[in-house]
């Protein structure tokens, strides 16, 4: 009797006829400028400023040479602390030209966090906006500056010092940068991006030219970008979504970056997409929910939109369907990844069926490997079996800045990155993310994945957005609690009413015991829901301190 075939393992590798790029970021930008000098590179809607690729390259070089005049060189850390603006991009590419390491600083940081990041990475030069919204950056910098030993120069955008830097750079010999570029390697560290730090201090993922240039390039390839594309980017530049998946995807293809506003505004984003005839629109799910809820969404001419990316946190199926139907983004894709992997590991393709694009995060990216393993043993599980998502390849970070022990916790000896995310790979290699290992709720011995329950709650006609967490319970260990945002004008939603809606559709142990209606969820600047904070607040809301 012939033995049965063993089950296929949850492993896949990304093949591609398109080779990896061997350039530095500066070399790649120079290639684009040579081919597309007169095409739009950057449009900043808030100020009306525009740059062609030739103009953008000249200003990048001016900033690079101005920084060099301050003594910034290869390996020095340069911090950038500002909302989205053209200067953010200029500093991004200028530091790459010098081989300096750009340190992205979250615009939402306050004194304690700023001081930690400046000292942990050893920032030498800090470029910052003077202020934004309620954040007085200048005052916070003045407070922490004396406690940051490596910090020698602070340049506030728009200040006399910034203008002097530009003037110095414009008067300098641009050919100097050619000589500097000849000494740089694509494998040099070029960027430190701090993880969101929902627990404890954040870690600085250190990324190379090779990491982020190739990841941005292949994101653009799978979106079908060329020099005709115009990308509307409301997501923050300080995060990989903005600076890699948009900026580097655009400049490696000669496309244009459209900055609708310094921070996300649904109306401004849609107006920018319409006015600039954008072909691509980015956002995290909460942004797309806000845009779909914006009254002007039905009146603006968005027929130019072709594609875009929804990423940053799990993408609700119903929201994805509406983005395709109402915004006309027929080729919209979902990307999955993390800061430590530059960030994208999987992506849906334009040719994928609607079902694939609304229910999975796609298949492995070109030139990468992915697998799903048993979280305890590390052994690859059969397809269709949940486990921890791991990835390997050019995109995996060099490590956490100056923290080899924490690096070793997530990257094994074979260079596999353990993501901490729960996933299932189907027979065709498509992956579904079912949640975070830490988010999984164990109720009375039953494993409950919040994502599954959230997806069902989105089918409720009055629910605009939903998040499910586990809260302490004396009998079952944990119980489910649903936090929901209701549509405007919706009637009050009680726990009993929601449970009745779920009954018969979800197993009894998956039905939320508690319901909490909110106007907004606690979240990071990048739109990731802070479930750790929600759980802490829930204990107080429900009076479970003694549980």
* pLDDT one-digit tens code per residue, 317-354: 788 889 999 999 999 999 999 999 999 999 999 999 88
* pLDDT one-digit tens code per residue, 58-78: 999 999 999 999 999 999 999
Contacts of residue 515, defined as CB under 8 A and 6 or more positions apart, other chains included, come to: 481, 482, 484, 493, 494, 495, 498
Q: What pLDDT score was predicted for residue 113?
A: 86
Q: What pLDDT score was predicted for residue 199?
A: 42
**Residue bearing the bigger pLDDT, 54 or 202:** 54
**Whole-angstrom distance, CA of residue 149 vs CA of residue 121:** 11
Q: What is the CA radius of gyration of the chain?
A: 24
Mean pLDDT of the chain: 93
Q: Which residue bears the tokens 């980015």? A: 282
* pLDDT one-digit tens code per residue, 208-224: 999 999 999 999 999 99
Q: How many CB atoms lie within 10 A of CB 55?
A: 17
Domains of the chain by start residue, with CATH: 23-44+52-185 (3.40.50.980), 441-541 (3.30.300.30)
Q: What pLDDT score was predicted for residue 213?
A: 98
Kindly report the three-state secondary structure assignment for every residue of 364-395. Answer: ECCCEEEEEECCCCCCECECCCCEEEEEEECC
In the predicted structure, residue 198 carries a pLDDT above the cut 50: no
Give 435's pLDDT tier (boundaries 50, 70, 90).
confident
Q: Which residues of 376-401 are buried (b: 16+ CB within 10 A; e: fewer)?
A: eeeebbebeebbbbbbbbbbbbbbbb
Q: How many CB atoms lie within 10 A of CB 544?
A: 16
Give 200's pLDDT tier (boundaries 50, 70, 90).
low
CA-closest candidate to residue 213, choices 28, 52, 474: 28
Give 152's pLDDT tier (boundaries 50, 70, 90).
very high
**Whole-angstrom distance, CA of residue 394 vs CA of residue 398:** 10
**Whole-angstrom distance, CA of residue 15 vs CA of residue 295:** 43
Contacts of residue 231, defined as CB under 8 A and 6 or more positions apart, other chains included, come to: 225, 246, 249, 250, 255, 256, 257, 258, 278, 279, 280, 281, 282
**Whole-angstrom distance, CA of residue 498 vs CA of residue 258:** 41
- Using an 8 Å Cβ cutoff, are 255 and 43 in contact? no
Burial of 200 (C-beta count, 10 Å sphere; 0-12/13-18/19+):
exposed
- Using an 8 Å Cβ cutoff, are 514 and 497 in contact? no
Angle at 538 between CA 536 and CA 544, to 5 degrees: 95
**Whole-angstrom distance, CA of residue 237 vs CA of residue 55:** 20
Q: Which residues of 511-528 are buried (b: 16+ CB within 10 A; e: fewer)?
A: bbbbbbeeeebbbbbbbb
**Whole-angstrom distance, CA of residue 120 vs CA of residue 540:** 34
Burial of 37 (C-beta count, 10 Å sphere; 0-12/13-18/19+):
middle
- H-type alpha helices, 340-494: 354-359, 404-410, 450-457
- Inter-helix orientation angle 266-275/285-293, to 10°: 80
Q: What pLDDT score was predicted for residue 197?
A: 46
Q: What pLDDT score was predicted for residue 41?
A: 98
CA-closest candidate to residue 308, choices 335, 342, 270: 335
* pLDDT one-digit tens code per residue, 463-501: 999 999 999 988 888 899 999 999 999 999 999 999 999
Percent of the chain's residues with pLDDT above 70: 97
Q: Which residue bears the tokens 């969820």? A: 521
Burial of 139 (C-beta count, 10 Å sphere; 0-12/13-18/19+):
exposed
- Using an 8 Å Cβ cutoff, are 13 and 368 in contact? yes
Q: What pLDDT score was predicted for residue 1?
A: 65
- Using an 8 Å Cβ cutoff, are 359 and 317 in contact? yes
Q: Which residue bears the tokens 């319970």? A: 473
- The two tokens of residue 399 are 């490590």
**Whole-angstrom distance, CA of residue 547 vs CA of residue 530:** 22
**Whole-angstrom distance, CA of residue 543 vs CA of residue 547:** 9
């Amino acid at each position: 009797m012939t033995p049965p075939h063993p089950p296929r393992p949850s492993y896949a590798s990304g093949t591609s006829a398109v080779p990896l790029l061997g350039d530095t970021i500066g070399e790649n930008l120079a290639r684009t400028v040579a081919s597309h000098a007169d095409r739009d590179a950057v449009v900043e809607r808030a100020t009306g400023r525009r740059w062609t690729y030739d103009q953008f390259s000249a200003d990048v070089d001016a900033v690079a040479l101005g920084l060099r005049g301050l003594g910034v060189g290869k390996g020095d850390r340069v911090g950038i602390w500002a909302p989205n603006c053209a200067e953010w991009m200029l500093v991004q590419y200028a530091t790459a030209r010098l081989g300096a390491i750009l340190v992205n600083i979250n615009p939402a940081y306050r004194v304690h966090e700023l001081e930690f990041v400046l000292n942990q990475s050893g920032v030498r030069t800090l470029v910052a906006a003077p202020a934004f919204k309620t954040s007085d950056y200048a005052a916070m910098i003045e407070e922490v500056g004396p406690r940051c030993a490596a910090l020698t120069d602070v340049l506030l955008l728009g200040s006399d010092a910034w203008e002097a830097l530009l003037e110095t750079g414009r008067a300098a010999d641009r050919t100097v940068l050619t000589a500097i570029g000849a000494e740089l390697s694509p494998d040099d560290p070029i960027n430190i991006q701090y993880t969101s730090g929902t627990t404890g201090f954040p870690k600085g993922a250190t990324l190379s030219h090779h990491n982020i240039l190739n990841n941005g390039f292949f994101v653009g390839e799978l979106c079908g970008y060329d020099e005709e594309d115009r990308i509307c980017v409301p997501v923050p530049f300080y995060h990989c979504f903005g600076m890699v998946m948009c900026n580097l995807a655009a400049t490696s293809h000669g496309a244009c970056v459209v900055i609708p506003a310094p921070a996300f505004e649904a109306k401004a984003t849609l107006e920018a997409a319409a006015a600039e005839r954008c072909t691509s629109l980015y956002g995290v799910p909460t942004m797309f929910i806000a845009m779909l809820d914006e009254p002007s969404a039905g009146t603006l001419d968005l027929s130019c939109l072709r594609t875009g990316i929804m990423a940053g946190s799990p993408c609700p199926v119903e929201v994805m369907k509406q983005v395709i139907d109402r915004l006309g983004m027929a080729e919209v894709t979902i990307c999955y990844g993390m800061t430590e992997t530059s960030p994208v590991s999987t992506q849906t393709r334009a040719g994928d069926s609607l079902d694939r694009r609304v229910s999975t995060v796609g298949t492995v990216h070109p030139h990468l490997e992915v697998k799903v393993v048993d979280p305890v043993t590390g052994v690859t599980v059969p397809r269709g079996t949940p486990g921890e998502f791991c990835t390997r390849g050019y995109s995996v970070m060099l490590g956490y800045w100056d923290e080899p022990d924490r690096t070793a916790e997530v990257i094994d000896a074979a260079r596999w990155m353990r993501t901490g995310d729960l996933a299932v790979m189907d027979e065709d290699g498509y992956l579904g993310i079912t949640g975070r290992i830490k988010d999984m709720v164990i109720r009375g011995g039953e494993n409950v994945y919040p994502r599954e329950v959230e997806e069902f709650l989105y089918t409720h006609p009055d629910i605009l957005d939903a998040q499910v967490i586990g809260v302490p319970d004396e009998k079952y260990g944990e119980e489910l609690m649903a936090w929901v945002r209701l549509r405007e004008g919706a009637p009050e939603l009680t726990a009993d009413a929601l449970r009745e809606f779920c009954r018969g559709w979800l197993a009894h142990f998956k039905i939320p015991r508690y319901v909490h209606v909110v106007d907004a969820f606690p979240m990071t600047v990048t739109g990731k829901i802070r479930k750790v904070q929600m759980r802490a607040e829930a204990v107080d809301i429900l009076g479970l301190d003694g549980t």
